[in-house]
Chains A and B, each alone.
Chain A
Amino acid sequence: MKGFPTEQDHPPDTYVLRLYITGATPNSIRAVANLKQLCEEHLKDRYTLEIVDVYQQADIAESDNLVALPLLVRKFPLPERRLIGDLSDTKKVLNGLGLTR
């Protein structure tokens, strides 16, 4: 896993997102699809997205305090936001990411 980008590495309006999924479960697949579509629509070219399969890295479950999955974390801009679920409720996702205008 490569070093995660920090605030300094990014222009202020760039979004740093991380999505935790569990393999190819329906929820995970839906979450990935929903997020990709959403980002293309609202955050074109100003986001970095990392997708983490927790099954592959079981040790991060504790260190990253994972309970409910899929989990989308907005690492930047601060403050950190956490969104759980398959991201099908677009309004809530946008709200959670602070993208509502």
Chain B
Amino acid sequence: MPPSPKKTAPSLPRLRKTPTGITGLDEITGGGLPTGRPSLICGAAGCGKTLLSLEFIVRGATAYDEPGVFVAFEEKAEELALNVASLGFDLLKLQKEKKIRVDYVHIDRSEIEETGEYDLDGLFIRLGYAIDSIGAKRVVLDTIENLFTGLSNQAILRAELRRLFGWLKEKGVTAIITGERGDGSLTRQGLEEYVSDCVILLDNRIANQISTRLLRIVKYRGSLHGTNEYPFLIDAEGISVLPVTSLLLDHDVSTKRISSGVPALDDMLGGKGFYRGSSVLISGTAGTGKTSLAAIFANETCVRGERCIYFAFEESPMQIIRNMKSIGIDMKRHLDSGLLEMHASRPTLFGLEMHLVDIHKKVTRFRPKAVILDPITNLVTVGSVSEVKSMLIRLIDFLQAEGITVLFTALALNTIVSEQTDEGVSSLVDAWLLVRDIESNGERNRGLYIMKSRGMKHSNQVREFVITDEGLDLVDVYLGPDGVLTGSARDAQQISEATGRILRTHALSQKDVEIGRKRKVLESKVASLHAEFESLQDELNRSYIEEDLRKEVMEQNRREQTAGRQHKNTGNGKSKSK
């Protein structure tokens, strides 16, 4: 945010400032140009000096109710009105309303003969009259150096200029003097000698055939100011300057969570998804589904009824919509309902800073809840890695301050996943998802894992990332003794495991039968032994009885013999047959 004007004790008077009304310029100057003093705006031809100073006048008249006088030394009032009509400034109407006054001062050396001492009282009177007639608080002299081409007496001119600036101060008007940039000095005629309160330098720099407009505050007496070069943009709404450094890191954070659009991914992120207002990076090699993930996140944002801007640097919106349709995501309806905006441009359309300003403007206008940049890698074509990083830092800062969730995709150029690069933003983002190829057995599969995710519990596992007709899904990969298996290898492994299970059950039942059979065999053996034992027992019993019988018979025989000896025996045969 803007630096405070001066860190002095509150009792001391502060330099009063006049807001320019130009987007961003008041932030870096800490409130605007010094009130009642002349400021110098210098730069080479085509830098936007005239436009910036004219916008100062127009904004003053329309937004701050401060009438202004524009003294044009270069262009006629009608030409000027025509030139800025494209920016929506209606100079003629403002002139009629007596809010601004445009005075074309024309000096042509060929028409003028210098015949002795003179002064610029004509200009003073003219300006004074113009200021008084509308009660002007703002004055622009564009470009006062033209006096030097029209008049030849340098000594007089310089003295008169000094008097002019003093006079402007006396008048209490806030003035802008523009000056063409000279060799080795800020302005060709050394105007900076006279205007020393505030000097702003405009530049138009071309790098890699891409031009970037830059603004720098060279000096600002009595005030703190941003010292960097700030890119600015001239577009249909005038000038916007983008403060480069607002790195105060004091933005509010949200504890709310939003879904990524892939339920399985939300599960990996502690079951709830990303933090609202966080920055997410999805990096991976070509064809790993980064855009699909980004599009699904955009889709999910719109489904929640929130607005989303999709900046595409590689594909046209129609192409993305068509491609997403093939995986069952209809983004067209969100475009139609106005929840989704898609902006596609080649990175080479303009410089990095312009991209940033452009994104900044679009976001400020549309106020989305989520922004997607797909992919940031291509931005490197218009800037070095460090430039891209600095741009993305500022973008992330801006979006986080606004509480907007941002999702970048980045293409990892080599297959070796680098843990540090990715445009150097990996350290800045809150969550970093990595999609990588897992190639084995002549097959390429996608693996997704969470490299980091600040402030939440997240899974450390690699999931297989599958793109189906119904969208994206994450499948647990097979982590086995042979390592990580994905795709058909995982399928095969699963099948072989299932087969193993069936075989095992089969083997088990086989054994049961065997045991049953064995039992039967043994049982039958036991039965036969039992029978044997019984027969043996029978045999033994029989012989035992026979013995007894024999004994009895012998006993009887003996008694009969004994009785026969006593009573005459009746014969042996009888006793024997008994």
- Which A residues lie at the B interface, using CB under 8 A? 20, 22, 25-27, 30-31, 34, 54-55, 58-59, 61-62, 65-72, 81-89, 92-93, 95-96
Q: Which residues from B are CB-within-8-Å of A25?
A: 119, 121
The smallest beta-carbon distance between A27 and chain B, in angstroms, is 5
Please determine whether B122 and A83 come into contact, CB atoms closer than 8 angstroms: no
Whether the Cβ atoms of B112 and A82 lie closer than 8 Å is yes
Complex alpha-carbon distance, A93 and B116, angstroms: 9
List residues of chain B with CB under 8 Å of any chain A CB: 103, 105-107, 111-123, 125-126, 128-130, 147, 150-151
A92 near B125: Cβ-Cβ < 8 Å:
no
Given contacts A61-B129, A67-B107, contact A85 B122 (CB under 8 A): no
Residues in A whose Cβ lies below 8 Å from that of B120: 67-69
- Cβ contact within 8 Å between B106 and A65: yes
Question: What would 23 A/B residue contacts be, using CB atoms closer than 8 Å?
Answer: A22-B125, A26-B117, A27-B118, A54-B122, A54-B125, A58-B126, A58-B129, A61-B126, A62-B103, A65-B106, A67-B123, A68-B120, A68-B151, A69-B121, A71-B122, A81-B111, A83-B115, A85-B115, A85-B116, A86-B116, A87-B115, A88-B117, A92-B113
Q: A88: which B residues are within 8 A, CB to CB? A: 115-117
- The 3 A-B pairs of least Cβ separation, nearest first, read A66-B122, A85-B116, A61-B126
User: Which of A70, A71, A85 has its CB near the most chain B CB atoms (within 10 A)?
Assistant: A85
The answer to whether residues A84 and B129 also contact, given A67-B147, A69-B122 and a CB cut-off of 8 A, is no
Task: State whether A86 touches B128 (Cβ < 8 A).
Answer: no
For B123, what are the chain A residues with a Cβ–Cβ distance below 8 Å?
66-68
Chain A residues closer than 8 Å to B106, beta-carbon distance: 65
A61-B125, A66-B126 given as contacts; is B116 within 8 A of A89 (CB)?
yes
CA distance A86 to B119 in the complex (A): 10
The secondary structure that dominates the B interface is mixed
- Can you name 16 extra interface pairs (CB under 8 A) apart from A71-B122, A84-B114? A25-B119, A34-B116, A58-B128, A58-B129, A66-B123, A66-B125, A67-B120, A68-B119, A68-B122, A69-B122, A83-B113, A83-B114, A84-B151, A86-B116, A92-B114, A92-B115
Cβ-neighbour of A27 out of B105, B112, B119, B126 (below 8 A) = B119
In Å, the complex CA distance between A72 and B122 comes to 13
Q: Residue B118 contacts which of A34, A59, A84 (CB distance < 8 angstroms)?
A: A84
Q: CA–CA, A96 to B110, complex, Å? A: 11
* Cα(A81)–Cα(B111), bound, Å: 6
On whether the beta carbons of A82 and B116 are closer than 8 Å, the reply is: no
Please give the distance in Å from B315's CB to the nearest CB on chain A. 57
B105 contacts A87, C-beta separation under 8 Å: no
**Is the Cβ of B118 less than 8 Å from the Cβ of A86?**
yes
Chain B, Cβ-Cβ closest to A71:
B122
Residue on A nearest B71 in the bound complex, by CB: A62
Interchain CA distance A95-B107 in the complex, whole Å = 20
Chain A residues near B129: list those with CB within 8 A: 58-59, 61-62
A70 to B115, CA, bound (A): 10
Q: How far is the CA of A93 from the CA of B107 in the complex (A)?
A: 19
Q: For the complex, would chain A's binding face be called helix, strand, loop or mixed by DSSP majority? A: mixed
Q: Given contacts A67-B107, A68-B120, are A85 and B114 in contact (CB under 8 A)? A: yes
| Contact (Cβ within 8 A) B113 A69 | no
A92: which B residues are within 8 A, CB to CB?
Answer: 113-115
Cα–Cα distance between A71 and B118 once the two chains are bound (Å): 9
CB pair A61–B118 under 8 Å, yes or no, is: no
Q: Would A68 and B105 count as touching, CB distance under 8 A?
A: no
Partner of A68, one of B103, B118, B128, B130: B118
Does B112 lie within 8 Å of A69, measured CB to CB? no
CA distance A85 to B115 in the complex (A): 5
Alpha-carbon separation in the docked complex, A62 to B454 (Å): 67
Bound: A88/B113 CA distance, A: 12
Question: Could you tell me the distance between the alpha carbons of A67 and B146 in the complex, rounded to whole angstroms?
Answer: 12
Q: Which residues of A contact B128 (CB under 8 A)?
A: 58
Asked whether B118 lies within 8 Å of A70 as measured between CB atoms, the reply is yes
**Distance between Cα atoms of A62 and B107 in the complex (Å):** 13
**Cα separation A97 to B107 with both chains bound (whole Å):** 19
Report how far A25 CA is from B163 CA in the complex, Å: 16
- Count chain B CB atoms within 10 A of each CB in A65, A67, A69 and give the residue with the most: A67
Whether A82 contacts B121 by the Cβ 8 Å rule is: no
Cα separation A84 to B120 with both chains bound (whole Å): 10
CA distance in complex: A24, B206 (Å)? 54
Contact A27 B115 (CB under 8 A): no
When the two chains form their complex, are residues A20 and B122 in contact, meaning their CB atoms are under 8 A apart?
A: yes
B449 CB to nearest A CB, Å: 73
The CA-CA distance from A31 to B114 in the complex, in Å, is 12
**CA gap between A75 and B114 in the complex, in Å:** 17
> A84 vs B150: C-alpha distance in the bound complex, in angstroms?
12
Chain A neighbourhood of B130, CB < 8 A: 62
**Distance in Å: Cβ of A74 to nearest Cβ of chain B:** 10
**B-chain residues with CB within 8 Å of residue A62 when the two chains form the complex:** 103, 126, 129-130
Contact A30 B118, beta carbon cutoff 8 Å: no
Distance between Cα atoms of A54 and B536 in the complex (Å) = 162
Q: Which residue of A lies closest to B108 (CB)?
A: A82
User: What residues on A are CB-neighbors of B126 within 8 Å?
Assistant: 58, 61-62, 66-67
Q: A58-B128, A61-B125 are in contact. Are A87 and B119 (CB under 8 A)?
A: no
Q: In the complex, are the beta carbons of B105 and A82 less than 8 A apart?
A: no
Asked, given contacts A25-B121, A69-B122, whether A82 binds B103 with beta carbons under 8 Å apart, the answer is no
**A27 pairs with B122, CB closer than 8 A:** no
Provide the residues of chain A in CB contact with B117, threshold 8 Å: 26-27, 30, 85-86, 88
Find the residue from A27, A59, A84 having the highest chain B CB count within 10 A: A84
* Complex contact A67–B115 (CB within 8 A): no
| Cα distance, A92 to B19, chains bound together (Å) | 49
Q: A26 to B119, alpha carbons, bound, how many Å?
A: 11
Measured CB to CB, the nearest residue on chain B to A96 is B113
| Complex Cα gap A95–B121 (Å) | 25
A93 to B, closest residue via Cβ: B115
Q: A66 to B105, alpha carbons, bound, how many Å?
A: 8
Cα separation A86 to B115 with both chains bound (whole Å): 6
